[in-house]
């Protein structure tokens, strides 16, 4: 994922004469991979009655996370722009025409004011040659958080060199940095964190600790050809390069199951590519890490007073934990950490199909959540996960229709079950808890309650077919927490052409024909790939839309790359958007309704 500064990119942007005024946007490294881009006013996004959506900022380069400093009357918005973040020949800073200041694949933090206007850019390398200098942000730059939230303090940012060379950069190159919010000076605070498929990601601060999500470095625990070689997913392996393997947080005992990549490379879990494991073989905690306390597929934490030397896992057994947010102490979760987890893909040496995304909860102690042998509530060997074959599988003949064999002889401890399952390939990523001044909405049945969470779902990358009709993802989900401990999940805001939005007699809005990605050949004024969402000091919800990406197109043929040589993924510059969702209508009456419902005992979702 990546971010831009105030630049007018060297891409081909030409406005069509159509009523929608869609722009044709191109990636200059891969001519022909054009997309139609026009966020407009978000007319093709359905939000419930009582809420409105508008463009806060547009034309960004691969924005991923957002943070705020200030109060409701005056504040600044800090957005990470990732730079090179996805594998493929099209996503490189090197060779991109024009000046470095206009290069979309250099990472930075873009600062905006409360009106969405550009203020300054932080941490950006002045030249392409300087992009690996420790004094500048590396690609991808992802997480961002202030020490004291809206009250500022130190600004922490996560990055890695994973994307420096086509998303296959040096291992153990993730960092956590302190970035001066005024001058942009970059200071390394934690170095040597794992890097691979999923580097160091979101950040948050709680009670003197910096907490972050540390992704797995593989798709499903085994280093395959999707982790090796200059082409990345679907590309030829490079046997001369040693790539990162999974790092356990506790000792694990291998099952002896190994996975054939089709070229004589047999690989076991938690081992380097081409190294087979033996039944009963022990891989000790932190094997492959640069220091004790660092591991993959985990939530890690460090004391603010000594970040580098106090790192430790607090929760692990995740495939790709991404969004993290502590619940309020008076919430049904009682201050626990809510976590979004991305499920496994149909790719690599141990491909899976239909693996769900998960919502997880950590509530203290070093707990384990089941990965890599449990996908949600079920063991990997359940037939629902059997691979069906795809363009990114290492060796389809060896795995199609067969159970996904376990990597471990037994789990290191009994797994904690997820709070809920999501549909496969929705890519649940960012999340935040609803503040009081956003709750309400002016319409029964559409109200967002105090303590609900909004989860952004980025959508798939075309490795598998669509997850249903209508396909889910590229949207915002509402999570309701009931007083009896149960939850409700609702697709809350999503793409629907304005002509297909109807309002029923009871005031509820619905969509007669949900639409898909915003850059589809038909072109809609909607969400593309929402990777984060946070509430600002003004009480509005700010949705971070990464922008257009071309992919294998198995779920949406419109999104498929035009040239097979451009596989697997093509980032489209200058298509990132920050959307703003806020309340409309009579807030005072909404608040009265809330109080009456609470009094009557009918308000069950706070």
493-546: pLDDT as tens digits:
999 999 999 988 888 889 998 887 766 656 789 999 999 999 999 999 999 999
Q: Which residue, 104, 120, 134, is CA-closest to 25?
A: 104
Give the pLDDT band of residue 445 (cuts 50, 70, 90). Answer: low
Q: What is the mean pLDDT of residues 166-186?
A: 90
Q: 63: helix, coil or strand?
A: strand
Q: How many residues does this entry show for the chain?
A: 606
Alpha-carbon span 466 to 473, nearest angstrom: 10
Residue 403 structure tokens = 């159970």
pLDDT of 404 higher than 70: yes
pLDDT of 240 higher than 50: no
Average pLDDT, the chain: 88
Q: What is the mean pLDDT of residues 298-302?
A: 98
pLDDT of 604 higher than 90: no
Q: Which residue, 125, 202, 203, is CA-closest to 164?
A: 125
pLDDT of 3 higher than 90: no
pTM value is: 0.91
Give the pLDDT band of residue 168 (cuts 50, 70, 90). Answer: low
Alpha-carbon span 2 to 83, nearest angstrom: 4
For 311-366, what is each residue's pLDDT tens digit?
999 999 999 999 999 999 999 999 999 999 999 999 999 999 999 999 999 999 99
Which helix (H) or strand (E) covers residue 379, if one does? strand 378-379
Residue 475 structure tokens = 């949207």
* Homologous superfamily of domain range 14-520+530-600: TolB, C-terminal domain (2.120.10.30)
The alpha carbons of the chain give a radius of gyration, in whole angstroms, of: 23
Q: Report pLDDT for 606.
A: 38
pLDDT of 444 higher than 70: no
Alpha-carbon span 244 to 242, nearest angstrom: 7
Alpha-carbon span 445 to 504, nearest angstrom: 12
Question: 510 or 441: which carries more pLDDT confidence?
Answer: 510
Q: What is the mean pLDDT of residues 442-454?
A: 75
Q: Report pLDDT for 16.
A: 32
Would you say 243 and 230 are in contact if contact means Cβ atoms under 8 Å apart?
no
Give the strand order in the sheet containing 51-60. Answer: 51-60, 576-583, 541-545, 530-535
Q: 434: helix, coil or strand?
A: coil
Give the pLDDT band of residue 558 (cuts 50, 70, 90). Answer: confident
The HSE-up count of residue 47 (CA atoms within 13 Å, CB side) is 24
Q: Report pLDDT for 10.
A: 27
For 5-39, what is each residue's pLDDT tens digit?
322 222 223 333 343 567 889 999 999 999 988 89
Alpha-carbon span 78 to 262, nearest angstrom: 45
Cα-Cα-Cα-Cα torsion 278, 282, 284, 290, nearest 10 degrees, comes to -10
Q: How many CB atoms lie within 10 A of CB 71?
A: 12
- Rounded to whole angstroms, what are the CA distances from 76 to 61, 66, 115, 182, 236? 19, 11, 9, 11, 45
Give the pLDDT band of residue 167 (cuts 50, 70, 90). Answer: low
Query: Which residues are CB-contacts of 470 (< 8 A; sequence separation ≥ 6)?
Result: 514
Q: What is the mean pLDDT of residues 265-285?
A: 96
For 574-601, what is each residue's pLDDT tens digit?
999 999 999 986 554 444 444 444 443 3
């Amino acid at each position: 994922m990546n971010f831009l500064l105030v630049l007018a990119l060297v891409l081909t942007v030409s406005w069509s004469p159509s009523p929608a005024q869609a722009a044709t946007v191109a990636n200059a490294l891969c001519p022909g991979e054009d997309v139609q881009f026009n966020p407009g006013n978000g007319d093709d996004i359905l939000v419930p009655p009582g809420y409105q959506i508008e463009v806060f900022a547009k034309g960004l380069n691969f924005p991923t996370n957002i943070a705020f400093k200030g109060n409701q009357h005056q504040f600044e918005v800090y957005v990470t722009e990732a730079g090179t973040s996805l594998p493929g020949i099209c996503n490189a800073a090197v060779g991109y025409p024009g000046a470095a200041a206009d290069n979309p694949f250099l990472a930075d933090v873009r600062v905006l004011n409360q009106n969405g206007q550009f203020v300054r850019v932080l941490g950006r390398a002045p030249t392409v040659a300087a992009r690996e200098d420790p004094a500048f942000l590396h690609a991808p730059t992802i997480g961002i958080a202030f020490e004291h939230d809206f009250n500022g303090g130190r600004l922490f940012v996560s990055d890695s060199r994973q994307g420096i060379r086509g998303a296959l950069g040096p291992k153990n190159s993730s960092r956590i940095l302190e970035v001066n919010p005024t001058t942009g000076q970059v200071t390394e605070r934690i170095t040597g964190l794992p890097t691979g498929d999923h580097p160091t990601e979101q950040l948050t601060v709680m009670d003197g600790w910096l907490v972050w999500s540390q992704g797995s470095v593989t798709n499903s625990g085994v280093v395959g050809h999707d982790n090796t070689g200059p082409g990345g997913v679907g590309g030829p392996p490079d046997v001369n390069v040693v790539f990162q393997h999974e790092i356990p947080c506790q000792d694990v005992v291998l099952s002896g199951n190994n996975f054939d990549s089709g070229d004589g490379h047999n690989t076991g879990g938690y081992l380097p590519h081409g190294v087979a494991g033996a039944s009963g073989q022990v891989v000790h905690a932190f094997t492959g890490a640069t220091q004790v306390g660092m591991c993959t597929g985990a939530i890690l934490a460090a004391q603010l007073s000594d970040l580098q030397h106090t790192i430790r896992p607090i929760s692990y057994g995740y495939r790709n934990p991404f969004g993290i947010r502590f619940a309020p102490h008076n919430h049904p979760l009682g201050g626990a950490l809510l976590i979004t987890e991305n499920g496994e893909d149909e790719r690599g040496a141990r491909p899976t199909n239909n693996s769900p995304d998960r919502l997880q909860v950590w509530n203290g102690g070093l707990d384990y959540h089941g990965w890599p042998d449990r996908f949600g509530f079920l063991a990997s060997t359940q037939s629902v996960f059997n691979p069906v074959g795809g363009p990114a599988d290492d060796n389809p003949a060896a795995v199609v229709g067969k159970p996904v064999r376990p990597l471990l002889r037994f789990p290191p401890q009994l797994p904690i079950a997820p709070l809920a399952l999501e549909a496969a390939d929705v890519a649940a990523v960012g999340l935040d808890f609803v503040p009081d001044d956003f709750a309400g909405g002016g319409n029964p049945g559409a109200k967002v309650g105090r303590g609900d969470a909004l989860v952004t779902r980025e959508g798939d990358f075309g490795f598998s077919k669509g997850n249903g009709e209508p396909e889910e993802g590229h949207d915002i989900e509402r999570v309701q927490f009931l007083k009896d401990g149960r939850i409700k999940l609702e697709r809350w805001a999503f793409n629907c052409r304005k002509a297909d939005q109807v309002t029923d007699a009871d005031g509820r809005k619905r969509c007669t024909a949900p639409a898909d990605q915003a850059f589809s050949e038909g072109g809609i004024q909607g969400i593309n790939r929402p990777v984060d969402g946070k509430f600002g000091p003004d009480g509005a919800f700010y949705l971070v839309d990464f922008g257009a990406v071309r992919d294998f197109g198995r779920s949406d043929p419109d999104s498929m790359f035009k040239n097979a040589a451009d596989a697997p993924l093509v980032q489209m510059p200058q298509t990132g958007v920050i959307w703003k969702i806020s309340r409309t209508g009579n807030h005072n009456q909404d608040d009265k309704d809330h109080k009456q419902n609470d009094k009557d005992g009918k308000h069950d979702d706070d």
